[in-house]
């Protein structure tokens, strides 16, 4: 469930054209080695994650006033956000939702798209430099069809734990509420990457922590967007902190 998020500023600057079938760019020409990687890596990741994931034990917690959706069941015309570091357990836990995520048309984005497709996720394709406006409108179409949309809120390059404006803009366009959650493994390998990417160890417990919904008015003033972004940011962070506290791992 990771992807290359589109900036709010780029979305505002892009022309107001809309194609229901987005892509917004020509498919890039991949090198021979990239084509080999695209043919092998997604299925390898899918197979390994599917096998190891059978050993994971999920637990659901929620803060007061939050509405958890176990395994995403019952998700409809809603937006969901989480931090980039917990993509792996999210891909397995929410695989039955057939949710749609915004992903770039880069090589990395193509790898992510093909891998997530094996778990049942769909993608709207765009990039942070071109097709931003069309990408948001593509997700708007998904919401209007009654299906959920997903953002890795601090992706694709961070900074860590700081959401982009895209989810707020999509909520303002659609009136859809934004759900915030975090999946924290009790035991995991932490990668030396900008997002401190988590690889849950076999047989670990994973807590699924939910925060209260963030709601954005369709007539939200431009001057109030940053306030709503901070509200969403705080919700995702509360979900993460509550998950860490659940395992006694939170240190202020």
pLDDT digits (tens, 9 = 90+) for 26-69: 456 889 999 999 999 999 999 999 999 999 999 999 999 999 99
Q: How many CA atoms lie within 13 Å of 114's alpha carbon, on the beta-carbon side? A: 16
Compute the distance between CA of residue 89 and CA of residue 201 in angstroms, rounded to an integer: 11
pLDDT-based confidence at 251, cuts 50/70/90? confident
Give the residue with greater pLDDT, 152 vs 235: 235
pLDDT digits (tens, 9 = 90+) for 154-170: 978 889 999 999 999 99
pLDDT digits (tens, 9 = 90+) for 140-157: 999 999 999 999 999 788
Give the residue with greater pLDDT, 137 vs 179: 179
Q: Is 29 left (phi over 0), alpha (psi -120 to 50) or beta?
A: beta
- pLDDT (0 to 100) of residue 131: 57
Domain ranges of the chain: 8-17+30-246
User: Within 10 A of 228 (CB to CB), how many other CB atoms are there?
Assistant: 21
156-175: burial string, b at 16+ Cβ within 10 Å, e else: beeeebebbbbbbbbbbbbe
Give the residue with greater pLDDT, 20 vs 25: 25
- pLDDT (0 to 100) of residue 130: 52
Residue 137 predicted with pLDDT over 50: yes
């Amino acid at each position: 469930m990771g992807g290359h998020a589109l900036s709010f500023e780029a979305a505002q600057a892009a022309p107001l054209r809309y194609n229901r079938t987005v892509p917004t760019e020509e498919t890039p020409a991949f090198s021979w080695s990239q084509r080999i990687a695209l043919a092998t890596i997604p299925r390898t990741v899918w197979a390994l994650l599917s096998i190891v994931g059978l050993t994971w034990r999920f637990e659901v917690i929620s803060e007061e006033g939050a509405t958890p959706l176990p395994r995403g069941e019952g998700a409809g015309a809603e937006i969901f956000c989480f931090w980039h570091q917990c993509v792996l357990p999210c891909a397995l836990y929410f695989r039955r939702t057939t949710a749609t995520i915004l992903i770039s048309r880069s090589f990395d984005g193509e790898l992510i798209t093909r891998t997530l497709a094996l778990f049942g996720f769909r993608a709207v394709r765009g990039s942070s430099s071109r097709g931003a406006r069309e990408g948001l409108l593509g997700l708007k179409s998904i919401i209007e069809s009654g299906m959920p949309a997903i953002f890795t809120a601090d992706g694709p390059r961070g900074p860590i734990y700081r959401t982009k404006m895209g989810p707020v803009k999509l909520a303002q366009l659609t009136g859809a509420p934004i759900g915030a959650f975090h999946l924290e493994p009790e035991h995991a390998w932490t990668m030396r990457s900008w997002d401190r990417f988590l690889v849950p160890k076999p047989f670990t417990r994973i807590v699924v922590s939910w925060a209260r919904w963030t709601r954005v008015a369709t007539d939200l003033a431009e001057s109030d967007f940053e306030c709503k972004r901070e509200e969403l940011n705080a919700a995702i962070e509360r979900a993460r902190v509550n998950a860490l506290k659940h395992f006694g791992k939170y240190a202020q």
